[in-house]
Amino acid sequence: MAIQIDHTNDDDILLLAVHDRRLDARSAPDLKASITTFVGIGWEWIVLDLSGVEFVDSSALGAIVSGLKALGRAGDLVIAGAQPPVTALFALTRMDKVFRMFPTAAAAVAALKSRV
């Protein structure tokens, strides 16, 4: 299932904003393809804005993990704007220890710009 994802950039930081309310087993392959395609063409600092997403399951989480793994040792992929159910998923699976999470896309971009 094709997902709705917008991309903009601020210098070398790529902002991916997901507009689907639900990311699950149906959308996971497309989410993975979207992120890894951007990594494949050279983006290394990526903000995934999930502020419009109300539900993420383990399949979609796996797609986000794929994006981080695709970076290898380079750059970072961080999460912005996660709503409480999505934050709970990251905590349940300990992925909140793996992904840096920011309240807003602006905060995430600022952090990546200063490389902190």
- Contact between 31 and other proteins by CB under 8 A: the answer reads no
Beta-carbon count within 10 A of 113 CB: 13
User: Three-class SS of residue 56?
Assistant: strand
Report the alpha-carbon distance of residue 39 to residue 81 in Å, rounded: 21
Q: Which of 84, 114, 115, 116 binds other proteins (CB under 8 A)?
A: 84
Give the count of residues interacting with other proteins (CB under 8 A). Answer: 27
Q: Which is nearer to other proteins, 9 or 59 (CB)?
A: 59
DSSP annotation of 21: S
Q: Which of 9, 10, 71, 100 binds other proteins (CB under 8 A)?
A: 71
> Nearest to residue 7, comparing CAs of 28, 38, 40?
38
Residues that bind other proteins (CB under 8 A): 22, 24-26, 55, 57-59, 61-63, 65-66, 68-69, 71-73, 84-85, 88-89, 92-94, 97-98
